[in-house]
A and B are shown apart, each in its own frame.
Chain A
Amino acid sequence: MSLVTIGIADLKVSNNPEDTLVTYSLGSCIGLAVYDPVARVGGLLHYMLPDSSINQEKAAKNPAMFANKGIPLLFKQCYKLGADKKRMIIKVAGGSQIMDDAGTFNIGKRNYAILRKMFWKNNVMIDGEDIGGNCNRTMYMQIEDGKINLKISKKGMVEL
């Protein structure tokens, strides 16, 4: 088994059944995992911010930083390896918040809201999610079977 790390503002796809994709420390960021069980192709995205309109130049250089650029790119890269949209299993984790009644620090919420909006427009259903709260999460995806494990602060390992 080889562990393939997806950094912050990064995405990777794989069709090697030996691979496990992992992304660490999801706070307000979102980890999006997509998997086609027939083609056995999976991809993992770790984005930081909802919308690239704040910096187009950076978006061109690193689309995985933003939901609106990173999400389409993740799907496209999986299609290149033979994945089919109709078969895709979609799992989402992250979008946490610090303790803040005023809601000033709610980037996590906005990161999740834009994903829901994009999925709704494109008829994509979420098959499993673990969102919000004030924990941080590490997300693992096994390419062999698409299994997603989450390591959640204070809770330990759970399957999503």
Chain B
Amino acid sequence: MSLMEEIIAAVDEMPPFPQVVQRAMQALAEPEYEVSGLVDILKVDQAVTANILKLCNSAYFGLPRKVSSLKEAVVYLGANQLRQLLLSGAASKIYEKPNEGYAVFADELWRHALATAVMAQVLRRHLRLKIDENMVFTAALLHDVGKVVLSTFVVDKYLAIESMVESGEYSFQEAEKEVLGFDHAEIGGKIAESWDFPPAIIAAIAFHHEPSSSPKEFRLLAEIVALANNLAVMVGYGTGVDGLACRGHDLLLQKLKLGEKDLEKLVLLFQIEMEKTCDIAGVSEH
């Protein structure tokens, strides 16, 4: 079996994206979703239910009394917060596996994913980009999922990748491609495909290092994820083994005519949001 075939087999063996979460996403996509229907979907998963109640009763919301029913919590949180909570919960489980090959702490990969998702949301909101919020959050959150699968296969190739990166001429992703013949973005796209995610999310994950090669109709999302990834790496969130060896994609900045100060403001807004998110998600910032 070629390495690529082995990896495809591993993609097929990946645990499915939690069904409860996918079903809840579908239910929440309806503009007038029914709370009781949603509660029926969620209540079958005890861990999910417990998480929703925990968040609702956390200091962050500062409610005057304890919320003890799932229905009340669903109403209180509202669609957007609920979506993000469900997605983050599912994604954290996927990312937080030990990553031997990339020698990063598993929680670093997860922290980077979360930082990228927060950054992508900041970009969408403050640059007033006309694109669905949940699409942006989901694609950004899952953009590096290919690393989870790939890392178990790169243990013996890792030194070759590393020395190419050290030469200073190759980004981490370019070195992966050179050594393995493919990169974590491509594998991530395949994983998203196997999870039946919409084509825009698959494309954004697969092209997050080469957004200009993304199919035109999905390019904005790929560009947002690429830029959010750049900025999260730049600031230092969960860079792990690749350090800052990541190529900058500033097309979106050029298109929107953003300069130095704008970028600084975005970084500032990101940090404010990230502190809140870490608080809610119970993630340490470092």
Contact = CB atoms under 8 A, between A and B. Distances in A.
A105 B250 contact: yes
A138 B239 CA distance: 12
Given A28-B234, A29-B235, A110-B260, A96 B244 contact: yes
A105 B263 contact: yes
B123 interface: no
A135 B248 CA distance: 15
Contacts of A99: 171, 244-248
A26 B286 CA distance: 10
A107 B238 contact: no
Give the size category of B's interface with A: 35 or more
B285 A54 contact: no
A58 interface: yes
Contacts of B250: 100, 102, 104-105
Contacts of A153: 239-243
Contact of A28 (B236, B246, B265): B236
15 contacts: A5-B286, A8-B285, A27-B236, A27-B237, A27-B239, A28-B236, A48-B267, A49-B268, A50-B264, A96-B234, A98-B244, A104-B250, A104-B263, A136-B243, A154-B241
B21 to A, nearest CB: 29
Chain A, interface SS category? loop
> Which one of B234, B238, B245, B248 has the highest number of Cβ atoms from chain A below 10 Å of its Cβ?
B234
A9 B239 contact: no
Give the size category of A's interface with B: 35 or more
A110 B234 CA distance: 13
A98 B246 contact: yes
B174 to A, nearest CB: 9
A9 B271 contact: yes
B272 interface: yes
Nearest to B171: A99
A9 B233 CA distance: 16
B166 interface: yes
Given A55-B265, A99-B247, A107-B264, A8 B271 contact: yes
